[in-house]
Each structure stands twice: as C-alpha cells, then as structure tokens.
C-alpha cells in the first residue's frame, strides 16, 4: 500500500511538472473561478475577519477586505498569464529568479512560514470542541486544548498519509461543508443582530489610538492575507484555456469569494460582541450563543471536519510541493515532518494570539517573491523563458547561475524583507517610518523589491548574469 | 493514455518534457488565447478603482 501511495504521489508530481498542452486544458473562467473559490475558503477566514473587526469599523473593513485584496491580486497575479501560456507552474519558472537550488531553499522557506495557518485551523478545532463542551455544561480539563489541536493535526495527517484517493474525497466533501457553514453563519449573524449595528460598528477599544494607523494596519492585513497565495497561484490557471480566464479566476476567486468569508467572520465577531460583549472567531461558539445548542452541535461537525480536511489537503499539497523539489524524499516522511512542525506550533499555543504578527512576518517574504516574479517576467525577460533550462533538461544550464543559486534574486528578497521591517516591527507593533507606512509594509516591500530588481537588471554585468538564457529562447 | 499516467524515471520524464516543448515550438502551434488590450485596460481600471476607494476609505 505504501509503495502505491508513493507511486500516486510521484504521478501527481509528474503532472505538476510537465507543461500542460492547450488541448489538455480543462477549465474556462467559471470552472477555474469555482475551484479557486473553494481553495480560498477555510475556517481561518473567520480568524482574519475577527482580527480585522478589532482594528477598524465595518465600513472600512468592507473596503479593505474587497478593494485592498483585489488591488494587490490584480497586480501580483499578472504573471499567471505565463503559466497559462506555457502550461507550467510557478515553481518551474521560479528557477529563472532563484536558480534550481535556490528554488529548493525558497520551497522550504515558504512552507516554514505558511504552515502556521494550519496551526490556526487546529486551534480553532480545539476551541470549538472545548466551547461546545462548555455549552453542554462540561468543563474541559486544562491542557485539553493542546491535545485537541494535535488530534486535529493527527487525523488530517492520517488522511493525507492515505494518498490522493482520500484527499480527493476529502476535498469533495470539504468545500460544500464550508459553504454550508458560511451560509448558516450569515443567516444567524444577520437575523440575530440589527443590520445597523453591524453597518455602524466601530471597535470600542481601537488596536491603535491613531485611527489612520489602524486603517493602514487593516489594509496591510488584507494585503498579507491575499499575498500568501503566491506560491500556489498558478496551479489552477495553468489548466485554463485562455490567459484572461486564468488571471481573472485567481483575482476574483480570492478577491470576492475568499474575502466574502472574511467579512462573514467579521459579521460573526461583531454580532457576538453585540450579544455578549466578547469578540470571538469561533463559529461554533457564535452559533451556540446566538442560535442554540442544537445548531451549535451541527456546526461543530462542520467545523471539525472542515479543519481536519483543511489540514489533510494542506499536508498533501505541501508534501507534493516538497517532493517536486526533493525528488528522493519519501512522501510519508515528508507528511510526518510537516505534522511534527504544525504539532509543535500547536503545543506552543500562541499562533492565534499573534495572528497579525504572523501575517506580516509571512508577508515579509511573500511580497518580495511576488515582486520578483512580476518584474522578472514582464520587465527583465520580456515574457520569454528558456523552457529547457527551467525544466533542468540535460545540457541546458541557463538558470544554474552560481552553484544553482541566483544571488541577485536572493539579495532582492533580503532587501525586500529589510524594507518591510524598516517601516514596521510586526513583533512590537511599532511604526518606524510613518510616511512610508502609508504604502503598508507589504506594499512598500513589493514596490521596493520590484524597483530594486529592475534597476539591478539594468547594470550590464548583472544583466548578462541574469540573461544567460537569451540564446536559448525558442517560444 | 498509459504513458501519461505511469510514473517515469527521470530520463523518460525529461524526454516527455522535451517532446512537449517541441510541440510548443512547432510552427502553427496554437497557444491559449492571449491577454487582450481590453484585459490590460480592465486591469488598469480595476486597480485604479480599488486604489481610489481605499484612499476614500481612510476618511470614513
């Protein structure tokens, strides 16, 4: 059985690597939009909504959730048109930006900073269980929270361990469940609290006494939230039949569907504050409080499966991503390493408490990465890529750079991280440079990294270092 | 179809990728429909609108 799972994963990796030809494409805009909408919805949307409601009023929250999200998506996802044109994933052509060994380093880095999302899900699972037990009069013993979080990780990992068949069924059940949960939460939230309470909501104790700073922090949170998709942004678009279908499905899948669930989370948190004086991000507690234990019990089943399913799908996707970079690694070992990492985060138990910090730290890396992709494709390589070198075919070494690493790309990532941290400290919440903070840390890092890379590409020695591939361009 | 779904050793995989690249290089290969001028204008319009609303939101 284990060999069979490894073979299945190997097959997935192969499909993730080879160029998909136009005749093999499956999706038009509506199909890709629906698939990506499902991909963007998870219970952590409620955590994001609750976090935003602690920063700004509902009207500003709506603007940030939709308009800030779509603004950044419409810019940073432009390189997906290359993925549609050649049918390749972002991790193939990232070799032009980082080199083959550099891509391995970036893969591990991205997973290290992205996997805390799964600890958020596991913690939500644990708090849902504990809260519901409380509703029924049972006081869970101390320490049960970590045990329940780890249990969620363990079950999700077990599903991922079983391979693609189990994952396929999980996904088929997961997305409708999340949609049903969202609809239930919307219904209860809207019918439990007068509309004007939600519409006119403003936080009683603002996170920052400066209202403008709070608003900018909320925009930053939305930028950081949507830019986390950069690593997986091309997976579905490469299967679409038209460049615009691939691009717009990514922009609106996250910018409309994903953001809608963030707003649902915010409405829920506002309704709970209105009813109980306490803001929560747990849909089970909200439904138990506002709609009664029976509905809460139903929602618990939805939340429990949704979080476990999200963990399973995440473990599988990232293990496949690791496997494509480290071909000799055993899929099952990779799954267990990922489980150990997220379990350690759960044992730490502080990830939800430091949600905003975690968002900005992860965006510190994502923003430079997204900027490099955009500038490299449009302005440095003029939309032309040496495909054989990108795939590492024998005899083609245009992207080998220096021992497999493009140091210009890494320098720009480091500079982008420094730019972000130079204007805002996500650990202390201190704003170092208010003038640049208007651009937000993610926005400034994105713009600054892009401009730096473009400027460096104009210096003749660096230009020839970056553009060794020109003699190999064939399509 | 079997050739498409079986796991392959690296040299076979490379050969498969090479075949696909050659298909893309062939004269008359139909690439997916390109991003049109209208799409570029729409991107600019969406980005401008979003930016304007975000700026206006600061004064709410």
| pLDDT tens digit sequence for A296-316 | 777 777 777 778 888 888 888
CA dihedral A337, A107, A234, A88 (to 10 degrees): -110
Q: Is B34 on the interface with A (CB under 8 A)?
A: yes
> Across all residues in chain A, what is the average pLDDT?
87
Listed range (A7-11, A354-358, A465-469) with the worst mean pLDDT = A7-11
Find residues 4-33 of chain B whose CB sits inside 8 Å of chain A.
5-8, 10, 13-14, 16-18, 20-21, 23-25, 30-33
Q: Looking at residue B10, what is its pLDDT?
A: 64
Q: What is the pLDDT of residue A13?
A: 64
Euclidean distance between CA atoms B49 and A67, whole angstroms: 8
pLDDT band at A77 (very low <50, low <70, confident <90, very high): very high
| pLDDT (tens digit per residue) in A261-276 | 899 889 989 988 888 8
- pLDDT at position A292, please? 73
DSSP-based three-state secondary structure for B26:
coil
Residue A422: band (very low, low, confident or very high) from pLDDT cuts 50, 70, 90: very high
A424, β-bridge pairs: A431
Of B21, B50, B58, the CB nearest to A71: B50
Q: What is the CA radius of gyration of chain B?
A: 22
Longest Cα–Cα distance of chain A, Å, equals 72
Assess whether pLDDT exceeds 90 at residue B3: no
Tell me which chain B residue has its CA closest to the CA of residue A57. Answer: B60
Mutate to test the interface with B, among A13, A14, A392, A469 (most CBs of B within 10 A): A14
Cβ partners under 8 Å of residue A142, min gap 6: none
Which pLDDT value is given to residue A464?
96
Closest by Cβ to A19, choosing from B6, B24, B33:
B24
pLDDT interval class at A187 (50, 70, 90): confident
Counting the structural domains of chain B, the total is: 1
Q: Which domain holds residue B48?
A: 2-57
Could you read off the pLDDT of A225-267 as tens digits, one per residue?
999 888 878 888 888 999 999 999 999 988 998 898 899 889 9
Please report residues of A whose CB lies closer than 8 A to that of B53: 63, 67
Chain B: nearest CA to A191, how far in angstroms? 26
Alpha-carbon Rg for chain A, nearest whole angstrom, is 22
Q: Any idea how long chain A is?
A: 475
Q: Do B21 and A7 touch (CB under 8 A)?
A: no
The CATH code for residues A2-472 is 1.10.4160.10
What number is the average pLDDT over the span B14-18? 89
Report pLDDT digits (tens) over A24-54.
887 889 888 887 887 777 778 888 999 999 9
Give the pLDDT confidence of A367-386 residue by residue, as tens digits.
Answer: 999 999 999 999 999 999 99
Q: Where are the domains of chain A?
A: 2-472
Contact, A159 vs A301, CB < 8 A?
no
The pair phi, psi for residue A356, each rounded to 5°, is -65, -40
Select from A387, A442, A446 the residue whose CB has the most chain B CBs within 10 Å, as the one to mutate to test that interface.
A387
Sign of the dihedral through C-alpha A413, A406, A82, A18: negative
**How confident is residue A9, by pLDDT bands cut at 50, 70 and 90?**
low
**Residue A475 with chain B: CB contacts under 8 Å:** 21, 24-25
pLDDT tens for A191-207 read 888 889 999 999 987 77
pLDDT at B8 over 70: no
- Measured CA to CA, the distance from residue A229 to residue A440 in angstroms comes to 18
């Amino acid at each position: 059985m284990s060999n069979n799972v490894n073979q299945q994963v190997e097959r997935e990796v192969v499909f993730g690597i080879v160029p998909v030809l136009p005749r093999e494409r499956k999706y038009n805009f509506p199909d890709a939009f629906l698939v990506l909408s499902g991909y963007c919805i998870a219970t952590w949307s409620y955590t994001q909504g609750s976090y935003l409601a602690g920063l700004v009023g509902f009207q500003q929250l709506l603007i940030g959730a939709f308009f800030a999200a779509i603004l950044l998506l419409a810019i940073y996802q432009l390189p997906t048109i290359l993925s549609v044109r050649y049918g390749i994933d972002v991790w193939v052509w990232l070799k032009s930006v980082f080199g083959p060994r550099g891509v391995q380093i970036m893969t591990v880095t991205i997973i290290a900073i992205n996997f805390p999302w799964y600890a958020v899900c596991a913690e939500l699972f644990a708090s849902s269980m504990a809260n519901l037990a409380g509703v029924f009069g049972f006081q869970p013993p101390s320490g049960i929270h970590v045990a329940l979080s780890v249990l969620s990780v363990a079950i999700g990992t077990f599903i991922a361990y079983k391979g693609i068949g189990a994952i396929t069924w999980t996904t088929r059940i997961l997305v409708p469940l999340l949609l049903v949960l969202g609809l239930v939460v919307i219904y209860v939230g809207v019918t439990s609290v007068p509309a004007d309470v939600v519409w006119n909501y403003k936080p009683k104790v603002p996170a920052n006494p400066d209202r403008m700073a709070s608003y900018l922090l909320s925009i930053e949170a939305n930028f950081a939230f949507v830019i986390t998709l950069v690593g997986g942004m091309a997976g579905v678009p490469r299967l679409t039949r038209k460049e615009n279908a691939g691009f717009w499905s990514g922009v609106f899948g996250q910018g409309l569907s994903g953001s809608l669930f963030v707003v649902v989370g915010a409405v829920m948190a506002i309704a709970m504050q209105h009813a109980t004086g306490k803001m929560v991000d747990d849909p089970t507690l909200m439904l138990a409080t506002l709609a009664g234990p029976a509905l809460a019990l139903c929602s618990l089943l939805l939340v429990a499966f949704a979080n476990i399913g999200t963990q399973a799908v995440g473990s599988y996707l990232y293990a496949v991503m690791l496997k494509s970079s480290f071909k000799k690694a055993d899929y099952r070992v990779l799954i267990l390493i990922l489980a150990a990492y997220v379990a350690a985060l759960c044992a730490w138990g502080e990830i939800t408490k430091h949600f905003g910090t975690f968002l900005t730290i992860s965006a510190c890396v994502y923003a430079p990465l997204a900027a490099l992709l955009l500038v490299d494709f449009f302005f440095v390589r003029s939309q032309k890529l040496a495909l054989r070198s990108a795939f590492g075919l024998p005899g083609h070494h245009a992207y080998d750079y220096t021992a497999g690493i493009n140091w210009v790309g890494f320098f720009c990532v480091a500079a982008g991280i420094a730019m972000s941290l130079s204007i805002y400290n996500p650990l202390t919440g201190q704003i170092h440079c208010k003038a640049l903070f208007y651009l937000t840390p993610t926005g400034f890092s994105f713009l600054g990294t892009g401009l730096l890379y473009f400027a460096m590409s104009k210096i003749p020695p660096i230009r020839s270092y970056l553009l060794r591939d020109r003699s190999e361009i064939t399509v | 179809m079997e050739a498409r779904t079986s796991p392959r050793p690296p040299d076979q995989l490379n050969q498969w990728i090479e075949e696909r690249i050659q298909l893309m290089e062939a004269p008359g290969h139909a690439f997916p429909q390109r991003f049109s001028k209208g799409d570029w204008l729409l991107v600019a319009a969406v980005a401008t609108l979003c930016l304007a609303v975000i700026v206006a939101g600061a004064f709410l």
